[in-house]
Structure 1
Amino acid sequence: MTRSVNLPDSMSTPARRTLRRVPDLLDAGLVPPEAAPVLEDVARRYATAIPPAFYDLIQAPDDPIGRQVIPDAAELLTAPHERADPIGDDALSPVPGIVHRYADRALLKPLLVCPLYCRFCFRREHVGPDGGVLDDDALARALDWLRAHPAIREVILTGGDPLMLSPRRLGAIVRALGDMAHVTTIRVHSRVPVADPGRITGELADALETDRAMWLVVHANHAREFTPAARAALRRIQARAIPVLGQSVLLRGVNDSTAALEGLFRAMVEARIKPYYLHQLDPAPGTAHFHVPIAEGRRLLAGLRGRVTGLAWPTYTLDIPGGHGKVPLGPDYLEPAADGLAVRDPAGGLHKLDAESAPNLALGAREG
């Protein structure tokens, strides 16, 4: 890997173990010595983990990769609008490990451990190396709850990161869900393929196989995360006929430009991943320095229309604080006109829809 010439000498040799403590960050040249005392305060509140594969991508501490995972003193500042449980998981948890927000689906969180700890995580008050896994009794209660609710058609494995489980335990959970007649779809949300791709062994990929509809949703925020190793890990999963979707968070200093978003979504499509969601940042404590206003996010996404294939177009979405669910944020192209409706094209031009053209637009064939 080629590193920036401006980096300290201590960063010239890639780390071969996960960096978890402030002294590890100092030794790697990721933080200056004078920042150590305040970063110890951050570490007492929020976990840190930077695995070797992700460390190798950092070209400078404040680059789009480093910014996602290197702790910052700004995390100790809680803005008035920020919440410890920004999307209402706790209030919507009928039993440990389950979140039930929508009638036809539920989250199953078998563990609260991740390969890396994103500095903007909406569950940052809960995840960490001490988060552990649901023990056998707690997991059994969570599975029993799912069995007792036949309206649940889709189960989303999240956490934490479910691909941090052993193949044996992951496979047992997938089999238990597959034995529930009413569960038709299983979704796995993970950062592992890009954060620690070496964990995606053939055995782990085999653990995902089921006769149910299995989907993997990979969280990535910058095109550089799709390394050859990450693509190889994804191929091991895709080879089991498991489709892969991508989700990202709009983040200041990481992907807050049309060029960065274009690069990210093109990298996903080239890795056989359909961009699914671009999330507006959830207001978790200490994350305000990552905030991009919604109006700016809408402009950025609108800037992609006409520049990238429709395959690379995600839904820009807001998870309404308090647990009220996700809603799309646009951008919008249809707007009222003096005597009807008008539509704005990707270049910004406005076109009147008259009584004859509107039905054609509504029913005509689409290409994208």
Structure 2
Amino acid sequence: MSRTPGATDPPARDTVAAGTRAAPVRPRVPDAEWNDWRWHMRKRVTTVAKARQWIALSPDEEKAIAGAAGTYRWSITPYYASLMDPVDPNCPIRLQGVPALGELAEFPGAEVDPVGDMYYRKTNRVVHKYPDRVIMLVTEACPVYCRHCTRKFHTTDVTGTYFRDDEGESFDEDFRYIADHPEIRDVLLTGGDPLSYRDGKLEEIVAGLRAIPSVEIIRIGSRFPVLLPQRVTDGLCEMLSRYHPVWLNTHFNHPKEITAEAAAAVDRLLRHGIPVGNQTVLLRGINDDVTTMRTLMTELLRIRVRPYYLYHCDNVTGVSHFMTSVEKGWEIMEGLQGHITGFGVPQYVLTTKIGKIPLAQPYFTRTPDGLLLRNYRGQEMAVDTAAYPITEPDAR
């Protein structure tokens, strides 16, 4: 048996409206290889020549690839490449995977670390920003180096790494820090992408955390369900299920990424008791319109992924060209609230050095008599303090 990559997937969405596109001709690949995540990792697109096997590179894309050399890594899995429109450089998949000239431009206020990871780093891997939870930067490897990555500096070719020591160094110092701070009850594994490790190495990390009595929740931040869903095997899920409660947050940005293979990966996680949430980034030219975002959220619910955050794109060096205005984010949130089921509406946030700041506009205004309420249609209703007290009564 063999398959043409992408040929047996459901019709891809170049726009969010229902439609189809002809599957481009791809080299035939045996099913055993196409379904093996390690094959995809070995065959990642990392050169112009390899990219041309999948897409007709535009002159600007070729200039950007050359300009990014020695500064920013790039790679694309064959699976993710199969979702790219072969001729349209504005394809939302191409924009996320192929270097663009905007990465080389300078933007006001851009920083390599606007979220303060370096400031809050306590060990080689542990970043302790919030009282009861930490992140662990366990690797700098990813299957696809997303062009909009918040930690783009972490995956540069030159000096961009947050690791004080090599990522392969012992984890003992990291585990010891967490054990010595019993207020830490929640650990998020991130990087890079933790699922870049093979199951055995990943289990060593998860087991080390589970051995710490104060750690209640282990979370994994991974884009593998989107970029290479073949990685989410029954074996991986069975291993993770031995260390519950384990949660996984992933990162779908466009409806075109929700394929049958991605849905199957999510289903495997769920069947092993691993809840799946989604953290979308608001990206100019990719999902910065109400129709696309509404379709994305409803499609996520269809495959049983809970929308969690809508991140305002960070002003990261090499990423700023993806930023929209905050006003655009408000417009999109207004187009979600009330128009889809409540638990399908993510929280719109801006990540800063002082934490994640909710940016959603309020649906109420305080008045001398009580509250003026506004619904998603713009209709208003006044309620007075007799019906809904605003302040607690004087207890004296």
- TM-score with structure 1 setting the length: 0.89
2:373 maps to 1:343 = yes
Tell me the distance in 1 between the aligned counterparts of 2:60 and 2:89: 15
Which structure 2 residue ranges, 5 or more long, are not aligned? 1-6, 15-21, 30-42, 391-396
Tell me the distance in 2 between the aligned counterparts of 1:272 and 1:173: 27
Post-superposition offset of 1:30: 4.3
2:124 maps to 1:96 = yes
Amino acid at match of 1:221: N
Cα deviation code 1:214-240 (max 9, x no counterpart): 111011101121111111111111111
Picking from 152, 157, 181, the partner of 1:149 is 181
Post-superposition offset of 1:197: 0.8
2:112 maps to 1:79 = no
CA contact (8 A) 1:278 1:317 kept: yes
2:148 maps to 1:135 = no
Partner of 2:54: 28
| Shift in alpha-carbon separation, 1:305–1:37, aligned structure 2, 3 A | closer
Post-superposition offset of 1:255: 0.8
Amino acid at match of 1:202: D
Picking from 297, 320, 328, the partner of 1:296 is 328
Post-superposition offset of 1:35: 4.9
Partner of 2:193: 161
Give the SS at the match of 1:194. helix
Give the SS at the match of 1:157. strand
- TM-score with structure 2 setting the length: 0.83
CA contact (8 A) 1:111 1:162 kept: yes
Which structure 1 residue ranges, 5 or more long, are not aligned? 361-368
Post-superposition offset of 1:274: 0.9
Tell me the distance in 2 between the aligned counterparts of 1:282 and 1:266: 25
2:294 maps to 1:262 = yes
Cα deviation code 1:21-70 (max 9, x no counterpart): 23322443342257534421113211111111211111232122211111
- 1:40-79 equivalences under 5 Å are 40-59=66-85, 60-79=88-107
Amino acid at match of 2:134: A
Amino acid at match of 1:127: T
Sequence identity percentage: 32
Post-superposition offset of 1:95: 1.1
| Shift in alpha-carbon separation, 1:128–1:226, aligned structure 2, 3 A | farther
Tell me the distance in 2 between the aligned counterparts of 1:355 and 1:94: 48
Amino acid at match of 1:276: Y
2:217 maps to 1:189 = no
Size of the alignment, in residue pairs?
354
Post-superposition offset of 1:140: 2.0
Partner of 1:13: 26
Deviates further, 22-31 or 68-77: 22-31
Partner of 1:309: 341
2:257 maps to 1:229 = no
Partner of 1:273: 305
Cα deviation code 1:189-223 (max 9, x no counterpart): 11001110111112211221234421110111011
Amino acid at match of 2:149: C
Amino acid at match of 1:351: M
| Shift in alpha-carbon separation, 1:349–1:207, aligned structure 2, 3 A | same
CA-based RMSD = 2.5
